[in-house]
Amino acid sequence: MKRKWTAAMAMAMAATLLSACSGGSGSTSNEKVTLTYANWSEDQTPAMEQIAAEFQKQNPNITVKIQTLPWTEYWSTLQVGVAGGTAPDAFWMLADHFREYAKGGALVDLSDTVKSTGIDMGAYPKAVSDSYTYEGKIFALPKDFDTNGVWYNKALFDAAGVKYPDDTWGWQEVQDAAKKLTDKGKGVWGIAAPIDPQGGYYNTILQAGGTIIKPGGTASDFAGPAAVAGLKFWTDLQSAGSSPTLKQLSDTEAVAMFENQKVAMYFSGAYWALRFHKNADLKGKIDVAPLPKGVKRATVTSGIGNAGYAGSKHPEELKKFLAFLGGTKAAEIQAATGTVLPAYKGTQEPWLKSMPEFNLQVFIDAIEYSVPLPVAGNTAEWQGLSAQYLSPAWEGAKPVEAAAKEYQDAVDKVLAKQ
């Protein structure tokens, strides 16, 4: 019954929120058409509306309607919309979901559009642009990119008499600081240690010299000694009591705990900068530093891609809009508004200047030691198993080595299906 109810709700959301574009197929350049453009961020919606307005100035026959869905509903709604033919024309895509949509023929092939409009794919970070190429074809254009840093609360550091993190910090400095910063009497923890792949354990696995997916993409390496060391970085923080428990982090997300000034350090990406900047309670209290160094310095990098629905009733107008989204003007709007770190080369400086209270250069410098977000097979499926298999290690109920081996076996079963 629960599955049926969920499916029915998803169908309803798809019908109401992601309705098909008006008008028929075979539209001409003079026909008035409407395109829909879906995203999952209320913080970024104003910039997306500004970008759409700029596109409409140049293309008065095309109207673009922005649709913002909650993250918790976005992917299920998109999946149902694609299956039912009611998906939005343009929408945000992530690397870990990309292959399932490209492989299924749901995305518009932009290869010819890139050539005909002269889009320079070299203007984007290669790690991001490569993430949206499948079987030699381009199915999305990079919108932004992200690396990771240590967001930290200066006020909490000052109160505990702990020096701020900087580029000299290693894992031990983080663990020592987290312990000193924890004051359970005040409901404050030194760090948030959720089961977070992109902001958390992928980075520490790489910093330990490990790999996540082995070359060839048919097997994972979560049980390797370096990977186990990278996972233990986080389980040690949990066992030391320096982080809220998984239950507490389930009740209140790590980012919300950081904003509520309940945790002093939060490992995550550049995409939170605008949200933190707008939070009046955090004004003058927070900053960001590079991730700590393990055996080596490393961070994963990825970014949102703008993709199009292959079933759109207005394919030519859609390609024109996607090309605009991938160009300098759209990138400049994102940067100038502080919305996000744009992917297009040469447009990042206004983003840095838009929030001068943060050391945002950290995220750009991290490109030098960044590694593409690991994707293989149905990434969303095997990555989605992480909480199930790793929670016992985070909770101290099972040795990390055992949990990592079980997770590796589960991941490899998914990879074997590709």
State the pLDDT at residue 29.
56
Per-residue pLDDT band at 287 (split at 50, 70, 90): very high
d(CA 410, CA 416): 10
- 149 has which bridge partners? 268, 290
State the pLDDT at residue 184.
92
Per-residue pLDDT band at 137 (split at 50, 70, 90): very high
State the pLDDT at residue 18.
43
What's the mean pLDDT when you consider all of the chain?
92
Per-residue pLDDT band at 201 (split at 50, 70, 90): very high
Per residue in 14-46, pLDDT (tens digit) is 443 444 333 333 444 578 999 999 999 999 999
Q: How far apart are the first and last CA of the chain?
A: 30
State the pLDDT at residue 177.
98
d(CA 80, CA 82): 5
Mean pLDDT of 307-322: 97
In 10 A of CB 23, how many CB atoms? Answer: 14
Which among 365, 347, 255 is positioned nearest to 299, based on CA atoms? 365
Per residue in 101-127, pLDDT (tens digit) is 999 999 999 999 999 999 999 999 988
Residue-wise over 222-251: b if at least 16 C-beta within 10 A, else e? bbbebbbbbbbbbbbbbeeebbbebeebee
State the pLDDT at residue 417.
86
Residue 141: pLDDT above 70?
A: yes
State the pLDDT at residue 270.
93
State the pLDDT at residue 31.
85
Mean pLDDT of 374-383: 89
- 35 has which bridge partners? 64
Per-residue pLDDT band at 174 (split at 50, 70, 90): very high
State the pLDDT at residue 364.
92
Residue 7: pLDDT above 90?
A: no
State the pLDDT at residue 378.
87
Report the percentage of the chain scoring pLDDT > 70: 93
Residue 82: pLDDT above 90?
A: yes
- From the number of C-beta atoms within 10 Å of its C-beta (0-12, 13-18, 19+), residue 274 rates as buried
Residue 377: pLDDT above 90?
A: no
